[in-house]
Structure formats: C-alpha cells, structure tokens
Structure 1
Amino acid sequence: MTRTPPTNVTRVRWWRWRRNPLRRHSDVVEAWIVLVIWILVLVGGAVAGAAAAVSVDSAFSARRAQVHAVSAVLTDDAVRTPPNGSGYDDGRVWASVRWTAPDGSVHTDRAKVYPGAPAGSRLTVWTDSTNRMVSPPLSTTEAALQSTLTGVLAASSAGVAVWTGGWLVRTWRMRRRMSEWDEEWKRIGPEWRNYSSGGT
C-alpha cells in the first residue's frame, strides 16, 4: 500500500536567507558557504581556464617564433616500402634531405616523405636557430583549438576541486550541526517528556 504525500506541504525557497524563528546561526553559515562555493566555482573556474588557455597559446606562439620553414631537396629516392618490414604510421617513410640555411651553410638530415618521391623533389622542413631540423609547429587554428580545450579542461578541473572542497566543508558543518542538535535534545528531551506526561 502506497502512501500519498501530503498536498498541503509548502516549500519555502531561500528560507536560510529569510528571518524566521526556526532559522539557526548554522543555517546562515551554510547559506553563505553555498554562495561562496558557487562564486568560486564560476569565477575561479573561468579565471583558471582563461589563464591556462593564455599560457598554452603563449607557449605555442613562442614555439612558432623559434622555428622557421626552409626549402629542402630530397637527395635519394624515397623507398616505396619501409625498410626491415616495419610499418609506417602515417603513410610516409624516412628519406635524406638537404637544405641551405639563411647563413649559406648546407645541412643534411632525414625527414618523413611520401614513398615513391624521386630524388630532387622539393619539400619544406622546419629548423631552429641552430639549423637543426625540428618538428613543424602547430598552425594558428590548431594552436587555438588546443588552447581552448586546455582552458576548458582547466576550468572544469578547478570547478570540480572547489566544489569538492565546498562539499567537504558542508559535510563537516552538517555533522557539527547534528551533534549540536543531539546535545540540545539531551538537554530539552527530558523536559519535553515531563511536560507531555503531565499533560495527559
């Protein structure tokens, strides 16, 4: 047999912020704790996300400023199959390339090219300030996407951390409040029972 909930029960919204005889000091403290938690989750998460996004974007910009593209030439034919039977992940193979640095010095290294490219084919490689070949930097679009994703992740992590800390504080406050109620009931309970038994 199911019990029908009473229909005359009225929920009072924001009761912790309103003056009423049942509101305790601990209720006001809890209301402030909840408000501060929400503010820190929203504002702190947004600040952490923005800071992380700016930091990552700055790192990508610095990386792009430290490398530059140069035109290189393939010195040997690119093999059509990987050596030693080992597979290649993106369809390219390693081949020797040669390029001339801005200072006129000639350098050689190995770069990934598509198999079957003949010797003499031109390609673009990226070098650093010491004329060493490095991996290409992220494009502006890729860097912006990566920065945004990092910012979202940082904002979410900061929000979860703040919310968890606030939940722990609220749990501690609730246990303390229940302990206070127990102590108060131990003091008032006997008087209440005496009053009830005297009235019957």
Structure 2
Amino acid sequence: MARTRRTKATGVWFRRWRWRWRSNPLRRRSDTVEACIVLATWILALLGGVFAGAAAAAMVDGNLAARRAEAHAVSAVLTKDSADAVPAAGGYDDSRVWAPVRWTAADGSEHTGRAKVAPAVAAGSRVTLWTDGEGRLVSKPLDPAESWLQAAVTGALVAPAVGAALWGGGRLVCGHLIRRRLAEWDEEWKRVGPQWRNLSGGRG
C-alpha cells in the first residue's frame, strides 16, 4: 500500500512537472523557467555530487600518497625499559606506551625522542619508527589499500553532501519563483476580481 502511494505521488509529480514543458494556453513564462530550474537542479545535483566526491577522493588519496612517499622507516634503539614508560593516552593504541628512543638519520646524525612502543620491552631492543624528510618522528603511513579505502569513504561522504546542497539551492530558487508567481496572481486578481464581480452582479 505504501509503495502504491509513493508510485502515485511520483506519477502526479511527474505529470505536473511535464505539464510545464507542453505548449498550452495556461502555461506562463514562469512555469517554463521553473521547469528549467528543476531540471538543471537535478542535473547539477547528480553531476556535481559525483564530481565533488571524485575530486575529494583524489585529493585525499594524493595527500596520503605524498605522506607515504615522504615517510621513511628507521630502526631505533629503546634507551629505557618500556615497562617504566608513560602509558599512551586513549584506547586506540591498545596498551602501547611512550618510551625514549634513539636513532640515526640517513645523514648520519643521531636523534632522540619518544615513541609509542609495546609494553615490557627491554632497553636496548630495536623498534621500527617512521620519520619525515626532516628526520622528525611521524605516524606510520597508510598502505595503498588503506589509502584507497579512506579516499573512497571520503568521496562517498562528500558526494551526497554536495548534491544535497545543490538541490537545496535549486529548491530555494523555485520557492522564490512560486512566491513571486503567487504575488503576480494576487495583483492580477485585484484588477480582474472587481470586474468579474460586477459582471456577475449584472447577470443576477
């Protein structure tokens, strides 16, 4: 029953929208303009959403690829037992802790810092860390599959948001045209109404 009602409502809406394209004496210029705006709104909402989602996905994937290309894996030495280190905040990193480490950069210079490592690791153990082009510690970059997934999710979120925004803008324009048309009808009735009433009174 609900599906039948939706089908009937869709059919009524389509006939009303198609009426604005047919040549008939009741059609006004504002009806044609409104029909064109509705058609353009749907096209822009669909194409704009698709292109915006694709652009957002490409941008995210490009940024992650650049970050992945800049990051380098280095072997660092734990300078203190991680059992005595400070636990990492939050539960995302499971039970990892902050521990002091030391590593040698590609230019031969030594660096020290703190990195998240597994608990109960003895001092002198080697851990793999990631650094950027300037030798600073960074988080492990996403692999290509993870980057693609994140880019796809971003595109899937951006596409409907942009499409809805464009559709909403078109509806606002149509609403303005409807209010304008109603105002024109009101003004026209103010001119025609008295004449029609006089004619009706004369017949009576």
Which category of TM-score, normalised to the shorter sequence, fits these structures? 0.7 to 0.9
Structure-2 separation of matches of 1:81 and 1:72: 16
* Match of residue 33, structure 2, among 29, 32, 40: 29
Q: Which residue in the other structure is 2:8 paired with?
A: none
The letter for the 2-side match of 1:199 is R
1:64 maps onto 2:68 in alignment = yes
1:104-123 to 2 correspondences below 5 Å: 104-123=108-127
CA displacement at 1:160 relative to structure 2: 2.4
After superposition, what is the alpha-carbon deviation per residue over 1:122-157, rounded to whole angstroms, capped at 9, x for unaligned?
221001222222222222233222212222232223
Structure-1 separation of matches of 2:55 and 2:173: 27
After superposition, what is the alpha-carbon deviation per residue over 1:97-132, rounded to whole angstroms, capped at 9, x for unaligned?
232333333333221111111223222100122222
User: Which of 151-160 and 34-43 deviates more?
Assistant: 151-160
User: Structure 1 vs Structure 2: percent identity of aligned residues?
Assistant: 59
The letter for the 1-side match of 2:152 is T
Q: Which residue in the other structure is 1:140 paired with?
A: 144
Structure-2 separation of matches of 1:52 and 1:88: 29
CA displacement at 1:171 relative to structure 2: 1.3
Conserved in 2, the CA contact under 8 Å of 1:33 and 1:166? yes
Structure 1 residues 81, 128: closer, same or farther in 2, change over 3 A? closer
Count of residue pairs brought into register by the alignment = 189
Q: Which residue in the other structure is 2:180 paired with?
A: 176
The letter for the 2-side match of 1:77 is D
Structure having the higher helix fraction is: 2
After superposition, what is the alpha-carbon deviation per residue over 1:28-70, rounded to whole angstroms, capped at 9, x for unaligned?
1110010111111111111111111111111111111111111
Q: Which residue in the other structure is 2:131 paired with?
A: 127
Q: Which residue in the other structure is 2:195 paired with?
A: 191
User: Which of 170-179 and 134-143 deviates more?
Assistant: 134-143
The letter for the 2-side match of 1:141 is A
Q: Which residue in the other structure is 2:51 paired with?
A: 47
Which consecutive segments of 4 or more residues in structure 1 shift more than 4 A?
none
CA displacement at 1:88 relative to structure 2: 5.8
Task: Provide the aligned C-alpha RMSD in A.
Answer: 2.3
Structure-2 separation of matches of 1:60 and 1:137: 8
Conserved in 1, the CA contact under 8 Å of 2:30 and 2:181? yes
Structure-1 separation of matches of 2:90 and 2:189: 75
Structure 1 residues 87, 187: closer, same or farther in 2, change over 3 A? closer
1:2-21 to 2 correspondences below 5 Å: 13=15, 14-21=18-25
TM-score (norm 2): 0.82
TM-score (norm 1): 0.83
Gaps of 5+ in 1: 1-9
